[in-house]
Amino acid sequence: MSIDSKRAFKLLEKIGFIRTSGSEEELRAAKILLEEISSIGCQGYMEDFKAPSSKITKATLKVVEPYEKEYEITPYNYSIGTPKGGITTDFVYIEDGHDANLVDIKGKFVLINKRPDLKLYKKLIEAGIAGYITMSGTAIDEEDKTDIAVSRVDKKYTQYGKIPAVNMRTKDCFDMVKNKTTKIKVEIIIEDIELTSQNVVVTLEGSKYPDEIISFGAHYDSVPFSTGVYDNGAGSVIIMELLRHFKENPPMRTLKFMWYGSEEVGLLGSKAYLKAHKEELKKHLLMINVDVAASVLGREMALVTAEENVVDYVGHMAKIKGLPLNVKQSIYSSDSTAFADKGIPSITFCRFAPKGGAFIHTRNDVLDFLSTEALEKTTIITKEFSESVINSVVFPFEKKIPDNMKKDLDKYFNKEPDKEDSDENKK
Ligand SMILES: [Zn+2]
């Protein structure tokens, strides 16, 4: 049997360290993947690309009225700082940013319940706020057991301008609102920098239809504080297992296996690949992505950004094989979405944990909540599906993205700033 989930889990342990976009650790993980690829007898290579980031040298926030207390903050990447020495401004809690909350906020630092969407961001800039604060975590978090998430200002947002933006613990925000904070002093020193990140790529030439390409993708980077084994070391080792399988069982169509860097900071790896290989894309028929897997508790999902008949096919296949797979036509916040946006039908296979059953984007994304048995489930499903289409006599799907999915993609990539933006389907 070519699938060995114990072996895959061992590789997961090997890459289970924090590997953020453009870091030395991300590069180290890429090299481990390359070593594994050569041990399979394949030739892999790295493709570098630029990953914008921010260097923060100072970030402080202090309540000055009606009491004095300093709170920990984490500035958004690609946001801007305050003048040196900081600014002292009025503080106001604007809840979800309802229009009625936006009256008289000029020059003030505002606290919002969630990250502003593009529409609200524009309104905040136009209102002339001094900066904004968003929340990370819960009101009952323990400081020494949690971290403040690192967010970033989407490039699309900056067309309206840049302002200071920070994340704070929900617990501290709660404290500030409850104690009727009116004035704060903020100092942030931050600058834009450029790091280098990389994708790892392997090609297996098709025996019968070499000009028809199906690609497997998984991002191997993690967010800060997180060893990113559930998200997405697991997907990375699953497609490695599939590379082994197809190396032993040569495919009729050409396969590309891609481990994307810097997915967590805006799908940079897949976007870089798409940009660098425009000609090749004409041959791409389908992108198969694996992102989050191996949680002990969970359910198997296939999120299909393609026509209804693909959704039906995946669902039927799972039933015929007796695989408990939940299939849905949808976009997914991962590299598959970047491919679909370029007209390439895509499917993400994933294992979603029930709430609190496994964790992403925190220090709790650790091996303790994962198992070999669970890892195997997503591996088998992805293998069964991909094998059936890779070796089909006639490729069964049209290369087409339906209009409803196109609309969702436009919304996801903020192509229509005046339409309602939503966080649905975003992780
Ligand atoms: Zn992910």
Give me ligand 1 centre to Cα 177, in Å.
33
Give me ligand 1 centre to Cα 213, in Å.
23
Which residue in 213, 259, 228 sits closest to 46, CA to CA? Answer: 259
The CATH superfamily assigned to 5-52+195-412 is Zn peptidases (3.40.630.10)
Give me ligand 1 centre to Cα 221, in Å.
8
* Sign of the Cα pseudo-torsion (345, 349, 355, 360, in order): negative
DSSP character at residue 156: G
Computed on alpha carbons and rounded to an integer, the radius of gyration of the chain in Å comes to 23
Model's pTM, two decimal places?
Answer: 0.93
Give me ligand 1 centre to Cα 412, in Å.
16
Here the tokens at position 405 are: 């999915």
Give me ligand 1 centre to Cα 86, in Å.
36
Give me ligand 1 centre to Cα 334, in Å.
6
Give me ligand 1 centre to Cα 362, in Å.
12
Residues 6+ apart with CB under 8 A from 86: 60, 185, 186, 187
- Cis peptide upstream of residue 232 (ω within 30 degrees of 0): yes
Residues 6+ apart with CB under 8 A from 32: 11, 14, 15
Which residue in 3, 78, 26 sits closest to 269, CA to CA? Answer: 26
Give me ligand 1 centre to Cα 291, in Å.
5
Give me ligand 1 centre to Cα 47, in Å.
20
- Integer angstrom CA distances of residue 278 from 105, 275, 281, 284, 390: 46, 6, 5, 10, 22
Digit-by-digit pLDDT tens for the chain (427 residues) are 589 999 999 999 999 999 999 999 999 999 999 999 999 999 999 999 999 999 999 999 999 999 999 999 999 999 999 999 999 999 999 999 999 999 999 999 999 999 999 999 999 999 999 999 999 999 999 999 999 999 999 989 999 999 999 999 999 999 999 999 999 999 999 999 999 999 999 999 999 999 999 999 999 999 999 999 999 999 999 999 999 999 999 999 999 999 999 999 999 999 999 999 999 999 999 999 999 999 999 999 999 999 999 999 999 999 999 999 999 999 999 999 999 999 999 999 999 999 999 999 999 999 999 999 999 999 999 999 999 999 999 999 999 999 999 999 999 998 754 443 333 344 4
Give me ligand 1 centre to Cα 228, in Å.
8
Give me ligand 1 centre to Cα 230, in Å.
8
Give me ligand 1 centre to Cα 112, in Å.
25
Give the type of residue at 300: E
Give me ligand 1 centre to Cα 219, in Å.
7
Residue 397 burial by CB count (10 A; 0-12/13-18/19+): exposed, middle or buried? middle
Cα separation, 224 vs 362, whole angstroms: 8
Instruction: Transcribe 98-153 into DSSP letters.
Output: -GGGSTT-TT-EEE-SS---HHHHHHHHHHT-SEEEEEES-TT--GGG--PPP-B-
Let me know: does 383 contact 3? Beta carbons within 8 Å: yes
Residues 6+ apart with CB under 8 A from 261: 21, 22, 26, 30, 49, 51, 197, 198, 199, 219, 220, 221, 268, 269
Give me ligand 1 centre to Cα 351, in Å.
11
Give me ligand 1 centre to Cα 306, in Å.
20
Instruction: For tokens 């976007």, name the residue.
Output: 271
Give me ligand 1 centre to Cα 232, in Å.
5
Phi then psi for residue 311, to 5 deg, are -60, -50
- Integer angstrom CA distances of residue 411 from 157, 337, 416, 424: 13, 12, 6, 10
Let me know: does 391 contact 90? Beta carbons within 8 Å: no
Let me know: does 196 contact 48? Beta carbons within 8 Å: yes
Cα separation, 294 vs 307, whole angstroms: 28
Give me ligand 1 centre to Cα 209, in Å.
31
For the chain, what are the domain ranges?
5-52+195-412, 67-181
Give me ligand 1 centre to Cα 102, in Å.
34
Here the tokens at position 23 are: 């870091």
Give me ligand 1 centre to Cα 37, in Å.
21
Give me ligand 1 centre to Cα 377, in Å.
18
Give me ligand 1 centre to Cα 233, in Å.
9
DSSP character at residue 41: T
- Assess if CATH 1.10.3720.10 describes domain 67-181: no
Give me ligand 1 centre to Cα 347, in Å.
14
Buried b / exposed e along 302-336 (16+ C-beta atoms within 10 A): bbbbbbeebbebbbebbeeeeeebebebbbbbbbb
